Amino acid sequence: MKTRAAIAWKAGAPLTIEEVELEGPKEGEVLVEIKATGICHTDWYTLSGADPEGIFPAILGHEGAGVVLETGPGVKSLRSGDHVIPLYTPECRQCKFCLSQKTNLCQAIRATQGRGLMPDGTSRFKLNGQSIAHYMGTSTFSNYIVVPEIALAKVREDAPFDKICYIGCGVTTGVGAVIFTAKVEAGANVVVFGLGGIGLNVIQAARMVGADKIIGVDLNPAREAMGRKFGMTHFINPNDVENVVDAIIQLTDGGADYSFECIGNVSTMRQALECCHKGWGQSIIIGVAAAGQEISTRPFQLVTGREWKGSAFGGARGRTDVPKIVDWYMENKINIDDLITHHLTLDQINEGFELMKKGESIRSVVVY
Ligand code: NAD
Ligand code: AHE
Ligand code: ZN
């Protein structure tokens, strides 16, 4: 069949909208009509050329929601008409990683996914005879996609696609990092570096679990109002203080119980660790840093009890946890609507990247 899709031809170049050939689902695969997709900073990261796994030409996008149109042979858990969220972190429930119950990083299809291919080692997308790479196993900047069954979370049918697409990455990443990765407890002091599409979800989850001080750090002064709306109690603009780490240590009587880095900058990753409380403070890295970047700190920071952790997709097990997060949204436990600042058509997708780069959007959502 044909599908309209935004193609990333080379690093840094604007996407172009094309009619692409999409091959139907094979064994264990599912054809999905994507109804809406968010634009995440990670899409920009890969488009910029900084991603060591970046492949061109490719169809980016990993924050979608849609409807199952057709299932391939052997698919048991889904049928046509089901509402789904594609998962860049699948959940096969059989691999060593899934069975460990210690991580959400299912590895069943990670190797082919990282090479822009379906699990059988081929792409389902072609344009004028040229193979186009999949991206993060999802490629939600295409109106129709083929995805392995294990990479789809079935969700309730009354949830609006243009909101729950954001649960496909940003919401789950931020909320999950607080609840599943750090397991922040009531009364804890929390610091969030970067108040964008991820950081604001960390803030709302910190409020949800009853954190005490919730301190936001961002260079963009416009982020203060949004942060406060979602539960932030204190705002620090690094341009307004001499030393961010000292300012946080003063505010928190010795340091944060938990900090979250939601920028992807190795300097702020260091600050996020070093602003943690001696003896127990934990810093969770969420931001994705460019190829070749490395983090550093004095090992004494760890010797004296601070912990450095990371979180991918908020530690959420997609098929199990994503439907629950959709329920939280439908029960008004989390606010997604106010974080979606722009709705766009597929033809306007490059504007979505511009809004993000200028700091004018939190999330732009493309509606098909
Ligand atoms: P975003 O662009 O919406 O937000 C980034 C925020 O950081 C902006 O508000 C910006 O003003 C602020 N910022 C930039 N540089 C800063 C600095 N030096 N000091 C303070 N603030 C600064 O991005 P997003 O969509 O929220 O994504 C944030 C990061 O998380 C990206 O690196 C993205 O790739 C990553 N990410 C990781 C996961 C994961 O599973 N680990 C999932 C989604 C996104
Ligand atoms: N290809 C990138 C990987 C970047 C990365 O860490 N991705 C996150 C998701 S970001 C979503 O917005 C992730 O889930 N990582 C785990 C994994 O297996 O990729 C790079 O930098 O190499
Ligand atoms: Zn993302």
Which tens digits make up the pLDDT trace of 338-354? 999 999 999 999 999 99
Q: Which of 264, 296, 311 is the last residue of a domain?
A: 311
Which tens digits make up the pLDDT trace of 39-60? 999 999 999 999 999 999 999 9
Q: Are residues 153 and 57 in the same domain?
A: yes
Query: How far, in Å, from the CA of 188 to the mean position of ligand 1?
Result: 23
Query: How far, in Å, from the CA of 327 to the mean position of ligand 2?
Result: 26
Domain CATH number, residue 76? 3.90.180.10
Residue at 321 is within a domain: no
Which tens digits make up the pLDDT trace of 59-98? 999 999 999 999 999 999 999 999 999 999 999 999 999 9
Burial group, residue 121, by CB count within 10 angstroms (0-12, 13-18, 19+) = exposed
Residues forming the active site: 40-42, 62-63, 92, 95, 98, 106, 110, 169, 363
The confidence score (pLDDT) of residue 351 equals: 98
Tell me the C-alpha distance between 235 and 5, whole Å: 40
The confidence score (pLDDT) of residue 103 equals: 98
Q: Are residues 107 and 220 in the same domain?
A: no
Residue at 317 is within a domain: no
284 in contact with ligand 1, CB cutoff 6 A: no
Residue at 229 is within a domain: yes
Q: Are residues 150 and 226 in the same domain?
A: no
Q: How many distinct structural domains can be found in the chain?
A: 2
288 in contact with ligand 2, CB cutoff 6 A: yes
Contacts for 210 with CB less than 8 Å, ≥ 6 apart: 185, 186, 187
pTM greater than the 0.80 cutoff: yes
Residue at 353 is within a domain: yes
SS3 of 285, please?
strand
Query: How far, in Å, from the CA of 196 to the mean position of ligand 1?
Result: 6
Q: Are residues 50 and 34 in the same domain?
A: yes
Q: How far is C-alpha 301 from the geometric centre of its chain's CA atoms?
A: 28
Domain CATH number, residue 261? 3.40.50.720
Residue at 267 is within a domain: yes
Residue at 197 is within a domain: yes
Please state, for a pLDDT cut of 70, what percent of the chain lies above it.
Answer: 100
Which tens digits make up the pLDDT trace of 281-329? 999 999 999 999 999 999 999 999 999 999 999 999 999 999 999 999 9
Q: Are residues 342 and 226 in the same domain?
A: no
Q: Are residues 342 and 270 in the same domain?
A: no
**Complex-level ipTM beyond the 0.95 threshold:** yes
Residue at 205 is within a domain: yes
Q: Are residues 251 and 287 in the same domain?
A: yes
Distances (CA, A) of 252 to 214, 277, 330: 10, 9, 34
Q: Are residues 246 and 212 in the same domain?
A: yes
Q: Are residues 14 and 153 in the same domain?
A: yes
Distances (CA, A) of 153 to 150, 232, 316, 339: 8, 31, 12, 22
Q: Are residues 296 and 182 in the same domain?
A: yes
Q: Are residues 39 and 121 in the same domain?
A: yes
Residue at 329 is within a domain: no
Tell me the C-alpha distance between 56 and 10, whole Å: 6
The confidence score (pLDDT) of residue 295 equals: 98
198 in contact with ligand 1, CB cutoff 6 A: yes
Q: Are residues 209 and 228 in the same domain?
A: yes
Q: Which domain holds residue 192?
A: 174-311
The confidence score (pLDDT) of residue 337 equals: 98
Which tens digits make up the pLDDT trace of 124-156? 999 999 999 999 999 999 999 999 999 999 999
